[in-house]
A and B are shown apart, each in its own frame.
Chain A
Amino acid sequence: MGPLANRTWIHAWLFLSPAMILLIAFTHYPAAVTLFHSFFSTPRGKRPAKFVGLENYETLLADTTFWKVLGNNLWYALGTIPASVAIAILMALWVDSKLKGRGFVRMAYFTPTVLPLIAVANIWMFFYTPGFGLIDQITGFFGFSQHNWLGDPSTALNAVIVVAVWKEAGFFMIFYLAALQTIPVSLREAAAIEGAGRWYFFRRVTFPLLMPTTLFVSVNAVINSFRLVDHIFVMTEGGPDNASSLLLFYIYETSFRFWDTAYASTLTVALLLLLFAVAIGQFLLLDKRVHYR
């Protein structure tokens, strides 16, 4: 290798290093350490951590709260992902058309994304408040009795799902809007000449051409459904009786409320494996049906 080639290599590594150092320090190293800790017991006082093998994983499999929280999380994902993607497409189609005050509507739809989730949760707390909250005031007007949306185990999780959909749909809309604008107008015109109606055109042309976006958005939505738990802290704290607790929230509680760091590491590894499997599955499943231009 000549001195010039050497210089090229040095430059390449210099350019790579800032991002690499950050990634290793804050992503890869903690992940590896977490995996390491999951095979040890939690150090307490004078008792240092000692290697316990798969004991933590056995605890995990026998932990009914873990299974309940996992079930909650799957229901939460099922509730938020299709709904937020469908609403995002509808909103994008709507604000992509020629309409008066389009800029304002786009901004209005995007606002929930800009707001911090904690603030959003506070707004929705007001909506859900029993008795004088917005929802109870409206239903009360029609003669329904008041309802504690967040305090009832049967509605708490669904109430939290609605907030997540409200928050995420606007964000996904931006991706769909960008994708819609890359579809040439002449396709719509060619279809119009052939007599294709709006629904037919959407089904046969627009939706298939949006598939790359749908793949991207749904991968993000899955990750978000395991990642976004800020509103749980504000609205329900996982309650009542873990009815609205999600996996990440359970990890947080285990780790920073009960200080069982080893078990929290084990839960984290489970979460990572789950996300990993889901993302790969999505790519394999959808990749065949996605047309990239």
Chain B
Amino acid sequence: MLTVELTKKWMELFYAQIDQEKAYLSELDTPIGDGDHGNNMKRGVDGVKDSLAKLKDPTLKETLRTIAMALISKVGGASGPLYGTAFLEMAKKCDESQEPAILFAAALEGIKKRGGAKEGDKTMVDVWAPTVKALTDGSFGTEQIKQAVASTKEMIARKGRASYLGERSVGHLDPGAMSSGYLFETFIAAGGVK
């Protein structure tokens, strides 16, 4: 069950992870993008941290919506709307259910709709889709997430800036898949799934 407390803990850990891996994310973005994914995500988590600190006794919906708006207004590029949409869809869904499997599934639909990427296009969807599935069949876990991130290495990019490289994108991890991996790993570390 996703709660306000869990979400806050999760965002603290996500912040720490992005802060620590900022240079690595930008490095992954250099051969197949424009080398700024770490900086962009850092601006986003800074925004999340500041906005959450201002909330007084928020509901889960307010918490998720605040995260969404911070990401949308701070990250920019393609990652801002995609991560922002993910949290906005969770905010819309959370009155109905607080089950991570259901919330993440709603988020995934939002990401697919916003960005138009399918599984296999070498994007964050390649982490979100198998992870949502793993949450339903019980295989969800750090190993499963790492595998999903790693699977993007051999894919040919078909969306976003990396798509211009075509086959030259093979052999590189997708930076958005990596940051999504961090998002799910920190969800586990925050106690998200027992």
Do A and B originate from a single complex?
no
Binding site for B on A (CB under 8 A): none
Binding site for A on B (CB under 8 A): none
